[in-house]
Amino acid sequence: MVAAAACLGLVLALSACGGGGGGSGPGSTQLKLVIGNALPLSGTSKALGESGQKAAGLAIEQIRSAIAETGSPHAVRAMQQDEGPDPASARAAAKRLVDQGGASCLTGPWSAEGVEQVAHDVAVPSKVLEIAPVPTSPTLAELSDHDLVDSTALPESEEGVALSKAIEDELGGAQGHTVNVAASNDSYGDTLRQDFVEEWQDKDGTVGQQTTLAPPAPPSNSSSSAESSQLTGGSPDAVLVIDDLSGFSQLAPGLPSSPGWNAEARAAVRPGV
């Protein structure tokens, strides 16, 4: 919902700066905004994508209500595409939204890698706004995007520090406290884990077990219970899990029965979005 509203706000701002009303200076501009939503509508994050689709519908209702209330001549509509399982399919979905659907603004995809791919290959070349609902990578910040790419979430570079601060507040300080860390096996998990570890150790905190999480497996697979045991090894004061919702939903049930689990320990979870 925030991403869809951000699209409208940025388009309004750009239109005001670019002129309208038949003149070369600032003036009123009639907008026919088409918001293209690239969502995870299949695979392990399907439920998240469906929630995002409902949120986008709610945002459109709110925007249309504001248009009617002010008597403005604007029009807005939204359309969806499944972003698929990887950055390449996300790029293809964004291309369809822009080239075939006429999208003047994009929200999504819902992965940092997908956002970067779409920014490089679709948004910037087509001069279409892209609003990401997920953290963006440091390399995207260096892209010459002419302010066409933005995010409603903290950048990856800030999340490790934010998580360290949150856990420090919960434990009453970092010094003398141990945190075990488990992270997904991708660039996002690697970046956030490294940033957190550096920040926690700079505060004289201790990092115990570090676990690289395997992709979600069928429920009968025993790998999740093994990962749970690794995560709680040494009875840490807190555990940090960096994973998407589907991965965490497999990991969580095994935590209470793990040998090193401490019921008083805090668990900080960072979902995919």
**Confidence at residue 8, expressed as pLDDT on a 0 to 100 scale:** 54
Q: Is 157-270 in CATH node 3.40.50.2300?
A: yes
Break the chain into its structural domains and give their ranges: 2-151, 157-270
Residue 147 pLDDT class (50, 70, 90 cuts): confident
More confident residue, 189 or 222: 189
Task: Give the strand order in the sheet containing 105-107.
Answer: 75-82, 32-39, 105-107, 129-132, 149-151
Q: How many CA atoms lie within 13 A of 58 on its CB side?
A: 9
Residue 273 has pLDDT above 50, yes or no: no
DSSP 214: P
* Distance in angstroms (rounded) separating the CA atoms of residues 26 and 37: 29
**Banded model confidence at residue 163, pLDDT cuts 50, 70, 90:** very high
Q: How far is CA 223 from CA 31, 196, 250, 253, 265, in A?
A: 52, 25, 10, 12, 23
User: Residue 119: what pLDDT?
Assistant: 92
| Mean pLDDT score, 99-113 | 91
190-242 per-position pLDDT tens digit: 888 999 999 999 999 999 989 888 776 555 444 556 777 777 788 889 989 88
- Please check the confidence at residue 19 and state whether its pLDDT lies above 50: no
pLDDT at 250: 75
* pLDDT score recorded for residue 123: 93
Mean pLDDT throughout 29-38?
88
Q: What is the pLDDT of residue 153?
A: 80
In the structure, what pLDDT confidence band is assigned to residue 14 with cuts at 50, 70 and 90?
very low
Q: Report phi then psi at 33, rounded to 5.
A: -85, 130
The mean of the pLDDT values for the chain is: 80
Confidence at residue 9, expressed as pLDDT on a 0 to 100 scale: 56
pLDDT 10s digits, 164-186: 999 999 999 999 999 999 898 88
Residue 124 has pLDDT above 60, yes or no: yes
Question: Minimal CA–CA distance to 208: which of 237, 179, 170, 167?
Answer: 179
Least confident of 4-13, 17-26, 138-147, 245-254: 17-26
Average confidence (pLDDT) over 1-11: 56
Closest CA to 82 of 105, 57, 114: 114
Whether residue 158 is predicted with pLDDT greater than 60 in this model: the reply is yes
What local confidence, expressed as pLDDT, does residue 217 receive? 59
Look at domain 2-151 and name its CATH class.
alpha beta
pLDDT tens-digit readout, 50-85 = 988 998 899 899 989 998 998 888 899 999 999 999
Comparing 2-151 with 157-270, is the CATH topology the same? yes
90-97 mean pLDDT: 96
